[in-house]
Structure 1
Amino acid sequence: MTKEFTVPPVVFPSGGNPAGGNLNQRRMPTAPFQPPRPSVSSTIPFMSFDIGSAAPSSASFGGSISTSVATGPASFEEEEPLLDELGIHPDQIWQKTKSILNPFRINPVVHKDSDLSGPIFLYLSFCLFQLLAGKIQFGVILGWIVVSSIFLYVVFNMLAGRNGNLDLHTCTSVVGYCMLPVVILSSLSLFLPQGAGVARYVLAGVFVLWATRACTNLMVALADGGEEHRGLIAYACFLIYTLFSLLVIF
């Protein structure tokens, strides 16, 4: 037993076969929520190019480039040396070091511009001579240098009171440059025999007094309020350089 299904008749629109010309005139549906695409003529404005107006602009652009190039450095010879950019002045370091060599005629004028490049060189030299003697004391020397500079800075400002104008940078520079006698002592101790104990003590005492006198004169000359406390400042400097000389002796 079979069922019969009723099929509705197909009705074409009036005007002929759907395969005819009316099918080409049908508009395709657009996607929902999509704005209509603007035409090309409405989005791209008309742009006009004027060759006469472009010539001066290019000339001015070229002129700006030539001006910037002219203001720059012409060659590498006009640039500052690398040591000057790093704040290292070998002539100034040599003058300060040479002024320490004579403890009776120290020139405090060259030490007014304090720096740390010279003291660092002396500290490294001291560590090198100690290393040649078989003593690895890099950390000990660095720690004692920092403590000694802070100690002398505090002592001087406490003695000078309100009149004291010594800063920590100047104090560190003076203590570092006055380490030159101790550095010379460490270099000479390499040639002394191990059994010469008395000679070592006498030699160390001479170099400690040398460093003490140089540091005291510089501290009093560079800062105010230290002339009346020269003895106490000299005692503090004597303790500092005696401490470093003990590293050389023992």
Structure 2
Amino acid sequence: MTKEFAVPPVVFPSVGNPVATGGNIQQRRVPIAPFQPPRPSNSGIPFMSFDIGSAAATTAGPIGGGTGPIGGVANFDDEEPLLDELGIHPDQIWKKTKSILNPFRVNPTFHKDSDLSGPIFLYLSFCLFQLLAGKIQFGVILGWIVVSSIFLYVVFNMLAGRHGNLNLHTCTSVIGYCLLPVVILSAVSLFVPQNGALRFGIAGVFVIWATRACTNLMVAVADGGEEHRGLIAYACFLIYTLFSLLVIF
């Protein structure tokens, strides 16, 4: 025996309209949209307006082509060249290097402003020619440059006494630029027989060239060196003789 239940018919009411079912009024609430904060009309901060479109429109101007100081397009015409920002001046390096080519008329005016860009370039050139000769001496040459700079700096200031105004930076710059004859010697030695008097004779000429140029510059760029020219020349001769021994042997 089945039991029947009185089930009222189900009627789908239209949205928002009340429907009378069995004497009871049932209302279905219309789903509302999620909560959205009010949009301020005059907001100075773009990301606080919760309006992506307006924020994009506000911020796209300065980035794309605005003229404001923040986010504007940089004017690269007013920027200095990269080499000048790094302290590398090729024209000055060329003038200083060219002044060493004539050992009898060395121009000391270019060497008043010392730098290390030119000496580093000559150091790398010297190492390259030694590498072409089958000698890997990067560390040895760099160590001798440092030791030679400290040696000549100490000797000059001991001779000049209180009147000596030579600093280590200027001393290293002068020794590095006067390394040019030794660099040329290392390039010439690639075409000269290994064993022979000719090799030693050419090395002696280049050592005297480098010694004379370095002595004239040391006396000119620092005060109190004229009366000790002979001793300074002897120290420079020892320095560039050591460098030439790397080329000969």
Q: Distance in 2 between matches of 1:185 and 1:66?
A: 57
8 Å contact from structure 2 (residues 193, 199) kept in 1:
no
User: 1:68 matched to which residue of 2?
Assistant: 69
The residue number in structure 1 matching 2:163 is 163
Flag the 1:66–1:129 CA change in 2: closer, same or farther, 3 A.
Answer: closer
Q: How big is the shift at 1:66?
A: 5.3
Instruction: Give 1:68 shift.
Output: 2.1
Q: After TM superposition, list the pairs within 5 Å mapping 1:1-150 onto structure 2.
A: 67-69=68-70, 74-150=74-150
In the alignment, the residues of structure 1 paired with residue 125 and residue 143 of structure 2 have an alpha-carbon distance, to the nearest angstrom, of 16
Question: May I ask how many residue pairs the two structures share in their alignment?
Answer: 195
Is the Cα–Cα contact under 8 Å of residues 212 and 237 in structure 1 kept in the other structure?
A: yes
Structure with larger Rg: 1
**What letter corresponds to residue 113 of structure 1 in structure 2?**
D
CA RMSD of aligned residues (A): 2.4
The letter for the 2-side match of 1:68 is P
1:211-222 superposed matches below 5 A:
211-222=210-221
Equivalent position SS for 1:84: helix
TM-score, length-scaled by structure 1: 0.72
Residue 34 of structure 1 aligns with which residue? none
Q: Shift of residue 150 of structure 1?
A: 0.2
**Aligned residue number for residue 25 of structure 1:** none
Partner secondary structure for residue 158 of structure 2: helix
CA distance in 2, matches of 1:244, 1:73: 52
For residue 118 of structure 1, report the CA deviation from its aligned partner. Answer: 0.3
Distance in 2 between residues matched to 1:56 and 1:115, nearest whole Å:
51
CA contact (8 A) 1:216 1:234 kept: yes
TM-score w.r.t. the length of structure 2 is: 0.73
Provide, for residues 173-221 of structure 1, a one-character-per-residue CA deviation record: whole Å limited to 9, x for no partner: 00000000000000000001224x2001110110000000000000000
1:99, 1:106 within 8 Å by CA — same for their partners in 2? yes
> Cα 1:56–1:242, aligned 2, differ >3 Å: closer, same or farther?
closer
Q: Which residue of 2 aligns with 1:179?
A: 179
Larger RCO (CA under 8 A, 6+ residues apart): 1
8 A Cα contact 2:194 2:248, kept in partner: no
Q: Residues 56 and 138 from structure 1, CA distance in 2 versus in 1: closer, same or farther, beyond 3 angstroms?
A: closer
Inter-CA distance 205–56: structure 2 relative to 1 (3 Å threshold): closer
* Preserved contact between residue 185 and residue 207 of structure 1 (Cα < 8 Å): yes
Alignment partner, residue 240 of structure 1: 239
Instruction: Note the C-alpha offset of 1:57.
Output: 11
Q: Is the 8 A contact 1:163 1:225 kept in 2?
A: yes
Q: Provide the rounded CA distance (Å) in 1 between the counterparts of 2:166 and 2:215.
A: 13
CA contact 1:73–1:79 (8 Å) conserved in 2: no
Relative to 1, partners in 2 of residues 1:249 and 1:92: Cα closer, same or farther, differing over 3 Å? same
Asked if structure 1 preserves the Cα contact closer than 8 Å seen for 2:182 and 2:240, the reply is: yes
Which position in structure 2 is the counterpart of 1:6? none
Paired-residue identity, % = 81
1: CA distance, partners of 2:80 / 2:121: 22
Residue of structure 2 in register with 1:202 after alignment: 201
Letter in 2 for 1:150: I
Distance 2:111 2:124 in 1: 20
